[in-house]
Amino acid sequence: MFVDHFKATNFRCFDNVECEFSRYLNVVYGNNGSGKSNFLEAIFYVLQGNGFRTKKDSYLLKYNAPFLRTEAKFTSQSIEKTVSVAWEKEAGKKITINGRENEKTASLFEECNVIIMTPATPELVKGGPEHRRKFIDRIHAKENPAYLSILNKYSITFRTRNLLLRRRLSNPHDKDMYSTLTHNIRNLSKIIQSERKNTIMQMQEVFFNICEQLNLPSLKNIRIMYAPSPIDAIDEYQLMQKEIQRGTSLIGSHLDRLSLRRDSRSLRIYGSEGEQKITAFVLKLCEFYFLETRTKNVPIVMLDDFQSELDNDNFNKMLAFIRPKAQIFLTSLHHEVVDNPDKVFKVENEEVHGEV
Ligand SMILES: Nc1ncnc2c1ncn2[C@@H]1O[C@H](COP(=O)(O)OP(=O)(O)O)[C@@H](O)[C@H]1O
Ligand SMILES: [Mg+2]
């Protein structure tokens, strides 16, 4: 897919921005703090309905402005579409797709494929298992949108169950409700664990193939290890006692462990900073491959300060992997970051200007 035209008002440091993009490689350059990431985030916002550095719309609103608005014309599977996402404090978020008002962020998630790589991406390897669970879950949800509603149901069940546990099942019907929720969390966990297992198996193969293709022999032995948390073999009464004591759910797929290992050693603990980074970026390339092949809608790729995260060789290899296929937005301090960019934008004095 491609974004052809983009407009934003009162988004982060910008009053007004309007641009026509190249369908190939767009370079966005400017000094530190000039607004490059803000610009990328604005494009991300109109395509996904939230920022990539925060989920809070109020942080995206230009200081002291009454509302923010972003709009875009994009082409997905050869069909031209329009989208706008606006937010103001009282009215909240308003998403319009092709003139249909009051759309949900889930519709944007289904409609638009965007992959973002930022200096925070290595958290996928360095951070806790929740980053990796979310990563796998979102990829699977792209292929199977019904999975998104399973995840939502899980999250509601988990939160309600925790609420009961925090008040120590003290209200009259709490025990009955707790039993029902325990049954539900078990069933939902089983579905989630089976889907995660499948996706991870496929991911392992894709990871291996991409490492071969990019000639990254040092990553060849990396395995994605999945340890689903036990769901059934727990005594009901003991479980309830423990959960009341701890005030939180101690069964369920939110406890699944997911790690990246080389020779059975965790990359999170033993990997070098560079290995963690490159593994995380290759995982994002796997995501690209999955979305491209499964949804038949080639993702837009946003690379925020990507070059400063990698050595030249790896930067060039990874860019070459996506460049022939995808519309790319690449931010950098310098416009000569790549040879022959298709369009260059300079960010300066809270404005964005196209140069080519
Ligand atoms: N909601 C906002 N309103 C106005 N300015 C903001 C807002 N959020 C962030 N900024 C400012 O935007 C500036 C540019 O940030 P950023 O896009 O991250 O720069 P960079 O070019 O280094 O990526 C920062 O100085 C920051 O203080
Ligand atoms: Mg930045």
In percent, the amount of the chain with pLDDT more than 70 equals 100
Distance of CA 171 to the CA centre of its chain: 39
At 188-207, the pLDDT tens digits run 999 999 999 999 999 999 99
Residue 149 makes CB contacts below 8 A (sequence gap 6+) with none
Q: Which residue minimizes the CA distance to atom 24 of ligand 1?
A: 33
Q: What is the mean pLDDT of residues 321-350?
A: 96
Neighbours of 117 (CB within 10 A): 25
Cβ neighbours of residue 201 under 8 Å, at least 6 residues apart?
Answer: none
Which domains does the chain show, CATH number per domain?
1-113+297-356 (3.40.50.300), 127-296 (1.20.1050.90)
Q: CB of 36 closer than 6 A to ligand 1?
A: yes
Residue ID of nearest Cα to ligand 1 atom 18: 37
Does ligand 1 lie within 6 Å of residue 33's CB atom? yes
- Nearest alpha-carbon partner for 115 in 139, 80, 148, 134: 139
Residue 38 near ligand 1, beta carbon < 6 Å: yes
pLDDT tens-place string over residues 288-301: 999 999 998 999 99
Distance, CA of 56 to CA of 41 (rounded, Å): 13
3-class SS letters over 89-116: CCCEEEEEECCECCCCHHHHHHHCCEEE
Report which bound ligand comes closest to the CA of 15.
Answer: 1
The pLDDT tens digits for 274-326 are 999 999 999 999 999 999 999 989 999 999 999 888 999 999 999 999 999 99
CA of 119 to the centre of ligand 2 (A): 9
Please indicate whether residue 51, judged by its CB atom, sits closer than 6 Å to ligand 1. no
**What pTM does this model have?**
0.95
CB neighbour list of residue 136: distance below 8 Å, 6 or more residues apart: 196, 199, 200, 203, 258
Strands of the sheet with 343-348, listed across from one edge? 114-117, 300-303, 328-332, 25-29, 343-348, 351-354
Ligand nearest to the CA of residue 32, numbered in listed order: 1
Which atom of ligand 1 lies at the shortest distance from residue 305's CA? 23
Residues, CB-to-ion distance under 5 Å, ligand 2: 37
pLDDT > 90? residue 232? no
- Give the pairing of strands 328-332 and 25-29: parallel
- Nearest CA to 197 out of 156, 140, 115, 266 is that of 140
